[in-house]
A and B are shown apart, each in its own frame.
Chain A
Amino acid sequence: MTARAFVEFIGVEKAFAGKPVLRGMDLAIGKGEILYIIGTSGVGKSVTIKHLVGFLPIDRGEIWFDGQRVDQLDERGFYPVRRRVGMVFQNATLFDAMTLTENVALPLRKHQGLGWKAALADARRRLAQVYLADFADRYPAELSDGMRKRAAIARTLTLAPEVVLFDEPTTGLDPVNARRIDRLIRELSRTLGVTAVVVSHDLPSIMSVADRVAFLYQGRVHALATPAALAASADPIVQQFIAGRSSGPMETPGF
């Protein structure tokens, strides 16, 4: 058997109602790496990371995680994978009937074997780490988007995941909070060896945080390079995307 990357997509195809989104996507992600996935809206970035944790089934191809083929698992089979591969959604998906502390305490109680009191205490500590100590007893509806995102990240990190999938973690945030999230992702990778897969449109964040960038186009990884190499790429399609020009060789359905 060939040696597989820590996370690997091989020839992954996915269509919705006959409309192809992924058309044979290959992507290998190394352990501890920070990989950014970029591409135009609707190209399939969110779909790609949802495949890895079994939120959407693929049509064809293979997905491997740490030497295990995961694309054929059923819902129950995915639970052990999800404890190792955390996901931070595009919208925070906090439980709105619970305070931030209770939100973060829930997985601690379920997975780390903590009692309710201990879980709450640990949750407060974790919220303080993402600058939310003063809002620990608020409900998600009472907070800003940026706060909710940080709380969702704190909640996901309770799993002590080996891989964290971030879906647009800095979209809609002010630059200060966006850079804080960037720093958090870098620290996770550098100090804990966490592999990060980040879907993003945020160029400053991509340039300063990414080890490598995968540029999705027409259902495949069109370019895969370091941020500097990508920025210097001569590929006209990559150029158009990076420069943000509305006209060029790029074909974007829907426009």
Chain B
Amino acid sequence: MIGERTLTLLGARAIAVTREVGGIALMTGQVLRALLPPRLDGRELVRNLHRMGNRSLPIVALTAFFAGGLMVVQSAPFVKRLGATSLAGWAAGYAVLREIGPILIGLMFSGRVGANNTAELGTMTVTEQLDGLRALAIDPIRYLIVPRVLAMLIMLTALTIIGDLVALVGAAVVAYLVLDIDWRTMYFSFADNLTPHDFFHGVYKSVAFGAAIALTSCYFGVTVKGGAVGVGRAVNAAVVAAAVSIMLLDFFITYATA
């Protein structure tokens, strides 16, 4: 009685999610197939790299700077109490490189570039521009989707690397201003305690997050139904799906490499 309605709803929801996961898997297959042989539209790739990168760099830099600083502020009481200034950099750097950097920048990228991508593809779908391409014997997967997926993968990885550096600078600046730790101490705290492994751990994640954002944002874009209202719904669904995928991927990658 309480259960039946809830179960029906849960079941319907589960079926819907399964269908969407299936759709995304199918599209992943199509994208991979379109890459062999790799006849890539270079113009489209460059155009997408440019606008996706440009659009995100300022916001990523800003977020990363304060994220790095924030880590130092959080650890300040302990560092002060224990007098462990040489560990301030390690704490901030470790958290930034492995977790905070990739996740924060991934979510930022999804909200900005991914959402924009879904809206754009969705609008093209409802105004039959995708059919217009097909009628010109141009495969939308090859021409529209593949360059976008590659551009997002490349750009998110690049932005994460840049963001990591900016975050470390942010940490050093805040350490200097708030904790009175000089630059040299911070520098050696990073250099002595952080390993390339910490850095690459985050980079792997950003590649996975980039793929997840790219595929979900494209999928929800090209499957829009129902005009402008449908585009709004699709953007919503894409951002939520990307955030959930980022969290799940993060958990599994961290777990698998621990």
Contact = CB atoms under 8 A, between A and B. Distances in A.
A110 B135 contact: no
A89 B135 contact: yes
A156 B135 contact: yes
B136 interface: yes
Contacts of A93: 127-129, 131-132, 135
Contacts, number: 55
A110 B136 contact: yes
Contacts of A80: 137
Nearest to B130: A93
B192 interface: no
B134 A55 contact: yes
A82 interface: yes
Contact of B138 (A55, A87, A106): A106
Interface string B186-197: 000000000000
Interface of A: 53, 55, 75, 79-80, 82-83, 86-87, 89, 91, 93-97, 106-107, 110-111, 116, 152, 155-156, 159
A82 B128 contact: no
Contact of B131 (A55, A83, A107): A55
Interface residues of B, number: 16
Nearest to B139: A79
A79 B129 CA distance: 16
Interface string B106-127: 0000000000000010001001
A93 B123 CA distance: 11
B128 A156 contact: no
A159 B128 contact: no
A89 B132 contact: yes
Nearest to A80: B137
A89 B131 contact: yes
Contacts of B124: 95-96
A156 B52 CA distance: 30
B62 to A, nearest CB: 28
B43 interface: yes
Given A91-B127, A96-B127, A82 B134 contact: yes
Given A55-B135, A93-B135, A152-B132, 6 more contacts: A55-B131, A91-B128, A96-B127, A96-B129, A97-B120, A156-B136
Nearest to B47: A97
B137 A82 contact: yes
Contacts of B134: 55, 75, 82
A95 B136 contact: no
B129 A82 contact: no
B209 to A, nearest CB: 26
B128 A89 contact: yes
A161 to B, nearest CB: 10
B135 A95 contact: no
Nearest to A103: B132
Nearest to B123: A96
A155 B135 CA distance: 11
Contacts of A116: 43
